[in-house]
Amino acid sequence: MSKKVLIIGLDCAAPELVFEKFLDELPNIKKMTNHGVFGKLKSCIPPITIPAWMVMMTSRDPGTLGLYGFRHKKSYSYDVWIASSRNIKHKTIWDIISEKGLKSCVVGVPPSYPPKPVNGCLVSCFITPDATKDYTYPPELKKELEEQFGEYIFDVEFRTEKRDEVLEKTYEMTKQHFEVIKYLIKEKDWNFFTFVEIGLDRIHHSFWKFFDKKHPKHVPNNKYENVVKEYYKYLDQRIGEILNIIDDNTIVLLVSDHGAKGMKGAFCINQWLMREGYLKLKTEPERGARIEESQIDWSKTRAWGWGGYYARIFINVEGREPQGTVIPEDYEKVLDELIEKIKNIKGENGEKFDNKVYNPEDIYEELNGDYPDLIVYLDDLYWRSAGTVGYDTLYLPENDTGPDDAVHSEYGVFILYDPTKKSGSELQNLNILDVAPTVLSIMEVPIPKEMLGKAITW
């Protein structure tokens, strides 16, 4: 009988915390590392929740999936669309194994709203608008879960100063999610079970500065100092309960889509583009105005950007954008000039930034969907990109879209727990693309040749 696989997905789990700082206080996770293999898991470019989880579940890169974040530019217009499950056109692990008649249980894997049919059951993810919507497959599963666990909680509002509330609601959500997961593990028929808990990402973003002594805004002996560690310990206990109810024929993976680190500040990318003469507004914006709501003078604009953990830069190309100004013959020249200038962006006091600038054409296997012209990491992601305008500085100490203390880092975690194995060892060079082929090889299902990763052996 082929083995079963269970994936415990902890959004944003950081290897420095899981494998080093907190490991001795996480007995169940420590046990997992002692029976199998583990290591840092290199995320995709960009290391963002959407697309990273689907990169993991399909072993295709963001370019192939045509997914570069939550928001995308609608073709080459100036409008925006938001990612949903409808944008996933490539086969996930659960699609592939269903062709062999194998069953799956999928809970909270972004983006999985609206719910699509699976051979098994599915509960959609944190992008679900609210619990009045249909969020399960089969549809009647919603009632079955609500009767026992109450109204399903998809997410918590976390970019707020009401931190006690964030904490209380995150615990409430996580507790419910683990109850639902244990119920589904026990009651449903599955060969592959995968879930993603978003609570850890919310806790990192809300509470990172309170424990990280190197964070620019850390205050010693504050009341939230142990929040992050306590939450990891809570997750560890819940993971222990899961390990107790699975059999020895099940391989358990614990993974994250990216890591986290302290945010140093937000760099005003559009403000910078204005200073450099690429972007022109018709009217003086108010402080913190969103670029989408500002009066952009497209006839004098050559490039503009979006904020987020990374910056997306768009060139305003004649014949491509509705009011393009850069003639196609000059596109490469403008791009190269921008790349050079962005690489040289420095800190407020002239300190060196480790900026990374990617041209999507160079980094992906295929290039689908609405990709930006450039993908930019400011100071290796330590600085967020602020898309808002109206500042007299390029450097904001705070995030421009609400309180946030953490940014994403390129490496997440990977643990493969084989209950029958007597020892654990650390692996190097693990990649998020390797997860799906690894799962398929454990389940003895052929790995489609289009998958970009390779099965991990242990």
Sole window of 43-51, 116-124, 353-361, 450-458 interacting with Zn ion (rule: CB under 5 A):
43-51
Of 5, 6, 8, 11, which one interacts with Zn ion (CB under 5 A)? 11
C-alpha atoms less than 13 angstroms from C-alpha of 149 in its C-beta half-sphere: 22
What's the one-letter identity of residue 256?
S
Q: How far is the CB of 412 from Zn ion (least distance, A)?
A: 8
DSSP state of 141: H
Q: Residue with the closest Cβ to Zn ion?
A: 49
Q: How far is the CB of 258 from Zn ion (least distance, A)?
A: 6
Q: How far is the CB of 431 from Zn ion (least distance, A)?
A: 17
Sole window of 10-18, 55-63, 289-297, 359-367 interacting with Zn ion (rule: CB under 5 A):
10-18
Q: How far is the CB of 235 from Zn ion (least distance, A)?
A: 15
For Zn ion, the closer CB: 55 or 338:
55
- Are 348 and 316 a contacting pair, CB within 8 Å? no
Sole window of 44-52, 93-101, 204-212, 449-457 interacting with Zn ion (rule: CB under 5 A):
44-52
**DSSP H helices in 66-212:** 93-98, 141-149, 163-187, 199-211
For Zn ion, the closer CB: 73 or 205:
205
CA distance 116 to 134: 11
Q: How far is the CB of 257 from Zn ion (least distance, A)?
A: 4
CA distance 9 to 404: 22
Residues 131-170 that bind Zn ion (CB under 5 A): none
- Are 294 and 315 a contacting pair, CB within 8 Å? no
Strand ranges, E, within 271-373: 303-306, 311-315, 356-358
Of 28, 33, 43, 49, which one interacts with Zn ion (CB under 5 A)? 49
DSSP string, 12-56: T--HIIIIIISGGG-HHHHHHHTSEEEEEEE--SS--HHHHHHHH
- The two most distant CA atoms of the chain are separated, in Å, by 68
Sole window of 8-16, 26-34, 69-77, 418-426 interacting with Zn ion (rule: CB under 5 A):
8-16
Q: How far is the CB of 12 from Zn ion (least distance, A)?
A: 5
- Binding of residue 404 to Zn ion (CB under 5 A): no
Q: How far is the CB of 350 from Zn ion (least distance, A)?
A: 33
Sole window of 6-14, 21-29, 101-109, 414-422 interacting with Zn ion (rule: CB under 5 A):
6-14
For Zn ion, the closer CB: 121 or 235:
235
The neighbouring-strand residues paired with 255 are 9, 414
Of 155, 212, 257, 418, which one interacts with Zn ion (CB under 5 A)? 257
For Zn ion, the closer CB: 228 or 317:
228
Q: How many residues bind Zn ion (CB under 5 A)?
A: 4
CA distance 309 to 382: 9
For Zn ion, the closer CB: 57 or 342:
57
CB-based contacts of 140: which residues, under 8 Å, 6+ apart? Answer: none
- Are 94 and 118 a contacting pair, CB within 8 Å? yes
Binding site for Zn ion (CB under 5 A): 11-12, 49, 257
